[in-house]
Structure 1
Amino acid sequence: MGGGGGGGGGGGVVKDVGSKAQLDEALHGAAPVVVHFWASWCEASKQMDQVFAHLATDFPQALFLRVEAEEQPEISEAYAVAAVPYFVFFKDGKSVDKLEGANPSILANRVAKVAGSTSLVESASPASLGIAAGPTVLEAVKDMAKENNSSKNENANSDLSGLTTRLWQLVNSHPVFLFMKGSPEQPRCGFSRKVVEILKDEGVEFGSFDILTDNEVREGMKKFSNWPTFPQLFCKGELLGGGDIAVAMHESGELKDVFRDHGVPINSKETKVAESAKDVSETSIPEKGGGISDSTGLNVELASRLRTLVNSSPVIIFMKGRPEEPKCGFSHKVIEILQQEKVAFESFDILSDDEVRQGLKIFSNWSSYPQLYIGGELIGGSDIVMEMLKSGELKKILAEKGIVPKVTLEDRLKNLVTSSPVMLFMKGTPDAPRCGFSSKVVNALQDEGISFGSFDILTNEEIRQGLKTYSNWPTYPQLYYKGELIGGCDIVLELQNSGELKSTLSE
């Protein structure tokens, strides 16, 4: 792919950007510009890159550019790119929208809004949008074009259309969910029957979907989970694996540990009895000389080996598989977080060493995998790492241990208020505001068709208190534009009533 340039549209070709000057030159042209920030290690980036290329073909009057986020830090920092895939949309040289994450439907919507026209969209064939997008994306693009770029009518439902959202909703509809052939009462293949038997034996309630009844879901799930066969077993929205992995985890007792660590209710009394028996048996790992360590109950040699392993790198993850090829969804999630935070780490594949796999559960008093250690201390599994990422605690610990540069509270606040051109600090989320004032501001922004980022100040007391001092504004919500405070609820409503809200947030 060639370098980007100014002037007209891209003629259906995606161009790579090699410098900030090159991007700035492209933005001075008359054509709308869509920029995809990507990374070579990110599977979601690769999938969205295919959709991006197809959209470039369908909207040749726009300029489609790619920026490798880690190779071009100056550009990434300029547009507050914290994760990939990430898209920024420009019109008349100004950033007018952004999109984080892999959602083909929403990407097609936003492209159509910036560069679309009804005639172009209606002439596009479903095939030209690629397999990853599919007919649902075409419909979303047509709907957006028919609105004549009127974002006033855009709502959460239009953004939540498409197969990807349907699949996401399915895997998150129950704490434990099984995609299978047939139903739990009438399985249509031996592997599906075996997993149903295992889940009943484990004493957990689960939802299921018969993939034989819906070919769109059947084919879509193979890409969604990056797993080619069925059944597929999910826990708390993360793929555990197929029939073989479910059987192995059940037989080793690890499936029970995963359910317990993720708060899945266990109903079977027999399971609890078996669990107690397993806990006793697991502590009796054969000695290899040197006696038993008082602190863990492990033999001294194994305890020493585990202690050496957890301290072998400032950051180490004990996982299923390798970072390039994780063997479970929870391990994959933690790897994504570490890579997103640009943390150097080592890994250990616990599937390759059963002595470490069983011994570390006792050593750490943590019964499932992955397990993340920082500075020799256990942080936890995927749920805890995810919560720490959201609250900022992960970055704080990494800084305290000297693994990443220390970030002051003022730096964090500055990064937050500039993380989106329009940024709202509120109680709750736009979908579920937790106070009337926050709800009114969200409604005002949505009524005006204004895209905005948000932060729930109820999730982080340090941010909640610190921002009051930073902004010299004692209450919430607080609305910012390009890093500058606009004000709270009253000011936003006054601007809306006078017809100045949209112009104020697009100057």
Structure 2
Amino acid sequence: MQRGDDSQGQLARDPVVIIARGKKPTNRSAEQDGACGAMLASATRAGTSSTTKPDHAAGAVHGAGAGAGGTPIVVTDGGQEVTVSQFVAQLDGKDTEEQSHCSPSWSSEDNDVREGMKKFSNWPTVPQLYCKGELLGGCDIVIAMHDSGELKDVFEEHNIPLKPQGSKNEEAGQPESATEKGGAVAEPIGLTDAQKARLESLINSSPVMVFIKGTPEEPRCGFSGKLVHILKQENIPFSSFDILSDDEVRQGLKVLSNWPSYPQLYIKGELVGGSDIVMEMHKSGELKKVLSEKGVIPKESLEDRLKSLVSSAPVMLLMKGTPDAPRCGFSSKVVNALKKEGVSFGSFDILSDEEVRQGLKTYSNWPTFPQLYYKSELIGGCDIVLEMEKSGDLKSTLSE
């Protein structure tokens, strides 16, 4: 798949990406066309700007997915931009003067890109909706999330701007009433004692409990998959519940936890958060610390913790502050040297943990910071790193 790198880059760059079919060929069923249109409509009604990528034209999509005034756009195979409403109108078979601008051509690369996306996402069909580079799911999941209000909650949780897009779109972006949704039951405002007891029983059924979409073996959204991956990477025993299998649990848990989206991680009956929070805790070492404090895993010795820390990335910088906001000149110089050489690296702010700060001095037998490690071995501090940069040895040493 020649344009696969571009497709993956687009998924990571744009906050919301829809992999959809860009045209209605005569040999496709109405159900297939309707799925793409329905997903586009749901994403639009949720109030977000989206980049829609025709599944045969991965390389043709550009921009942030919004035209003038923040209107969501579809970029066709020929690079022509049309609004989502025009695109949906075409998929729905509506013949309007405006839709004539949307006439993507189908190329010989259709099947290669489509099959490549299936492998990349581990999802067998299109359309596919991505948020912050993570797969949410296909049409049925997205429509269900929209109907429950969860789609908008996910966008808000991940800081996707929900911009008004004109009076018609603003109206479409409002939550639908039960009547408008064909008599669908509205999200519960409160919980009965029986519902609360059932939810609390599920939450406490395991010391580490995750409520996800799908199963750990087959997650049905990217955020659930990310959370499961973190727990497995940390070798943390956990149990799970598929919220797609029980709508009463899915809606009730939002009320009980006061948390609008999934996945949700609980440790010893207490909500920790969703995938973004867990990812940050994983990176900082806070996740293992919480688990050990609650007796879920044995308490890690300081030496074991330091060993884990310096080996958490091939190139690891123990510094004051962060790469984006260094809090001392020496740390800033090392960050700039690594960036200038194009070296990818992990980092840890030693100002955030006094125990780690003091322990590293003994562990490394090095009294000051920053400290640069490569493959768990100490390279040195600021002066050594700058000397290696000057001699041309820095990049080669960190690439061996």
Provide the TM-score with structure 1 as the length reference.
0.56
- Aligned-pair CA distance for 1:442: 1.6
- Aligned-pair CA distance for 1:365: 0.6
- Aligned-pair CA distance for 1:454: 3.2
Change (3 A) 1:459 1:365: farther
1:210 paired residue among 24, 39, 54 = 54
Question: Higher relative CO (CA 8 A, sep ≥ 6), structure 1 or 2?
Answer: 2
Matches within 5 A, 1:95-494: 163=4, 165-182=5-22, 189-214=33-58, 215=109, 216-268=112-164, 269-270=170-171, 274=175, 281-284=186-189, 297-418=190-311, 423-426=316-319, 428=322, 436-442=332-338, 446=341, 454-458=345-349, 461-462=352-353, 465-466=357-358, 469-470=361-362, 471=364, 473=366, 475-480=368-373, 483=376, 485-494=378-387
- Secondary structure of 1:322 counterpart: coil
Question: Unaligned regions of 5+ residues in structure 2, if any?
Answer: 24-29, 59-108, 165-169
Whether the aligned pair in 1 keeps the contact of 2:47 and 2:173 (CA below 8 Å) is no
Counterparts of 1:358 and 1:395 in 2: how far apart (Å)?
A: 29
Counterparts of 1:206 and 1:421 in 2: how far apart (Å)?
A: 35
Equivalent residue for 1:63? none
- The alignment yields a C-alpha RMSD, in angstroms, of 3.6
Equivalent residue for 2:61? none
Whether the aligned pair in 1 keeps the contact of 2:215 and 2:242 (CA below 8 Å) is yes
- Secondary structure of 2:117 counterpart: helix
Counterparts of 2:56 and 2:162 in 1: how far apart (Å)?
A: 29
Counterparts of 1:438 and 1:242 in 2: how far apart (Å)?
A: 44
Counterparts of 1:322 and 1:256 in 2: how far apart (Å)?
A: 23
- Aligned-pair CA distance for 1:362: 0.4
- Secondary structure of 1:339 counterpart: helix
Give per-residue Cα distances to partners, 1:334-360, cap 9 Å, x unaligned: 111111111111111112212111111
Amino acid at match of 1:256: K
Amino acid at match of 2:345: S
Equivalent residue for 1:74? none
Change (3 A) 1:482 1:489: same
Counterparts of 1:282 and 1:180 in 2: how far apart (Å)?
A: 29
Whether the aligned pair in 2 keeps the contact of 1:421 and 1:481 (CA below 8 Å) is yes
Change (3 A) 1:487 1:303: same
Equivalent residue for 1:67? none
- Secondary structure of 2:136 counterpart: strand
- Aligned-pair CA distance for 1:482: 6.3
Change (3 A) 1:493 1:267: closer
Counterparts of 2:122 and 2:379 in 1: how far apart (Å)?
A: 44
Amino acid at match of 2:373: Y
Counterparts of 1:273 and 1:503 in 2: how far apart (Å)?
A: 56
- Aligned-pair CA distance for 1:175: 1.5
Change (3 A) 1:453 1:174: closer
Counterparts of 2:394 and 2:41 in 1: how far apart (Å)?
A: 58
Equivalent residue for 1:73? none
Query: Identity percentage over the alignment?
Result: 53
Matches within 5 A, 1:75-114: none
- Aligned-pair CA distance for 1:321: 1.6
Counterparts of 1:489 and 1:479 in 2: how far apart (Å)?
A: 8
Whether the aligned pair in 2 keeps the contact of 1:372 and 1:380 (CA below 8 Å) is yes
Counterparts of 1:497 and 1:314 in 2: how far apart (Å)?
A: 52
Structure 1 runs of 4+ aligned residues shifted over 6 Å read 275-278, 498-507
Counterparts of 2:397 and 2:215 in 1: how far apart (Å)?
A: 49
Counterparts of 1:502 and 1:246 in 2: how far apart (Å)?
A: 45
Whether the aligned pair in 2 keeps the contact of 1:440 and 1:489 (CA below 8 Å) is no
> Number of residue pairs matched?
325
- Aligned-pair CA distance for 1:500: 7.4
Whether the aligned pair in 1 keeps the contact of 2:306 and 2:360 (CA below 8 Å) is no
Amino acid at match of 2:352: E
Provide the TM-score with structure 2 as the length reference.
0.70
Counterparts of 1:428 and 1:302 in 2: how far apart (Å)?
A: 45
- Aligned-pair CA distance for 1:443: 6.0
Matches within 5 A, 1:2-13: none
- Aligned-pair CA distance for 1:316: 0.9
Amino acid at match of 2:13: S
- Secondary structure of 2:353 counterpart: helix
- Secondary structure of 1:342 counterpart: coil
Counterparts of 1:205 and 1:500 in 2: how far apart (Å)?
A: 46
Mean Cα displacement is larger for which, 350-359 or 408-417?
408-417
Whether the aligned pair in 2 keeps the contact of 1:437 and 1:477 (CA below 8 Å) is no
- Aligned-pair CA distance for 1:180: 1.0
Counterparts of 2:186 and 2:397 in 1: how far apart (Å)?
A: 67
Amino acid at match of 1:364: S
Change (3 A) 1:400 1:505: same
